[in-house]
Amino acid sequence: MKKLKIRGNELKKLGFTNDRAIAFALNLVSRHCKKVDKTKVLELLEKINLLPENYLNEPVFGELAKMLAEKPVPKKQKKLTLNKTALEFKVYGAENIDAETIRQMETAMKLPVSVKGALMPDAHVGYGLPIGGVLATYNSVIPYGVGMDIGCRMCLSVFSLSPKKIDGERGRIKNILMNETRFGLAEFKDVQDHEILERKEFSEIRFLKTLQKKFAEQLGSSGHGNHFVDVGFVEIAAFSPQINLQPGQYFAVLSHSGSRNFGSEVCKNYTQIARDKLELSGEAARLAWLGLDSEEGHEYWAAMQLAGDYSHANHRIVHQRLAKAFGEKPVAIIENHHNFAWKEKLSDGAEIIIHRKGATPAGIGDIGIIPGTMASPAFIVAGRGNEDSMNSAAHGAGRLMSRNAAKQTFTESQMKKYLLEQGVELIGGSADESPLAYKDIREVMKSQKDLVEILGVFHPRIVRME
């Protein structure tokens, strides 16, 4: 007998109207009815929805019946609690993922709206959902399931120049990096006009209007922490039509950054709204969600899309400035983003919301870049469309230790000595980003052979950070 699959739309046809009850019913079916006849399950669920008070003691769906029998609470929903048991989830590279990260994902899989989940091999503890966590929910979005740096991206420009340019023009390249990039609080003064500054969301959503000035000021700049602009070279071993580059080595620029202060403020604002509506407490409060049928859910979704487009614009400005300074046009530009939520469908046709917090889209046709550290390669990849990972892959090497622990463990002189041994020159940066504070990117890539195909490799040589 095939594994039982029931969709949210099928429950709506039975008369279910409450999204929370639909998600809870799907969870119960997934956990307890894997080999039960579908017709019988649907018949029972229809009866429970019509007369829930008659099924309060039903062994599998009793809690669902209690939920349906409750009278609606005006304005605020009834205080919510997590499900007692977590849904199962796939873990890639489990041998390199700590227990606290697993426990954090288990909490996410107890949410009443959760449908499916997975941990990528670079996973480590985050705020709310683990970084490297992929979570599917029904008709709801979790701001901290997306993260504070909404739409954080990788962008790679490849030039038809020899990598010899790096050593031959090192001084000039370093000056260009310093002149044409801005990090942290530093801002460009000459970026005045851009179509994204006129987006309608600023007039339609009052809260976003308060962020518009800083949004404009930080346009074209990069964040702090692990955000960077690297000059190095791309190595292509074999021709791939997905990226249309012939075998060889190419001078290249790779950047990593996101939506700056804008994304952070959007995340914090709508998380607080979700917490107040749901009255969640404890760790679950960090995973408060907004229904996509609600006004606030619509607002957050629109703000998230704007933040993703803003991140894209920031990268393109950086790469355009650098290309102009180099006097060259790129022959290829490859980019992808993480820290986002997508409306997607599983193989059974069910539409779900997939949060990829520190995870790269890896469906069929998806091309992306998975970076290592400032001293290790980044990989150009094509997604294999693995449904167990919900068409996702790692977004980087992943941290072995926190920033504070790294600062206490490594000195900047130790870090720069290590970088010198690897042939990498660092401009800026601090010990909390020491390559030794991260997992081995090669091991991460081994753990996700079923998720992505490697098309090329980028080797950093000059790294610019805050």
Residues 321 and 224 in one domain: yes
State the Cα–Cα distance between residues 311 and 263, nearest whole angstrom. 9
Answer left, alpha or beta for residue 229, where phi above 0 means left and psi between -120 and 50 means alpha.
beta
Q: Name the residue with tokens 């962008």.
A: 155
The answer to whether residue 393 is domain-embedded is: yes
Pairing, β 425-427 against β 452-464: parallel
CA atoms within 13 A on the CB side of 137: 29
Size of the chain, expressed as the number of residues it contains: 466
How far, CA to CA in Å, does 200 sit from each of 157, 203, 204, 306?
30, 5, 6, 10
Q: What is the mean pLDDT of each run of 10 residues along the chain (466 residues)?
A: 78 85 89 86 89 90 90 54 91 96 96 96 95 97 97 98 97 97 82 86 94 94 94 96 95 97 96 90 88 96 98 97 97 97 84 96 97 97 96 97 92 93 95 95 98 98 96
> Does residue 327 sit in the same domain as residue 445?
yes
What confidence score (pLDDT) does residue 72 get? Answer: 57
Q: Which domain holds residue 38?
A: 8-69
At 196, is the secondary structure helix, strand, or coil? helix
Question: Is residue 326 assigned to a domain?
Answer: yes
Predicted local distance difference test score (pLDDT) of residue 74: 46
Is 310 domain-assigned? yes
- Give the pTM: 0.85
193 and 306 in a single domain? The answer is: yes
Last residue of a domain, one of 69, 97, 116: 69
| Count of domains observed in the chain | 2
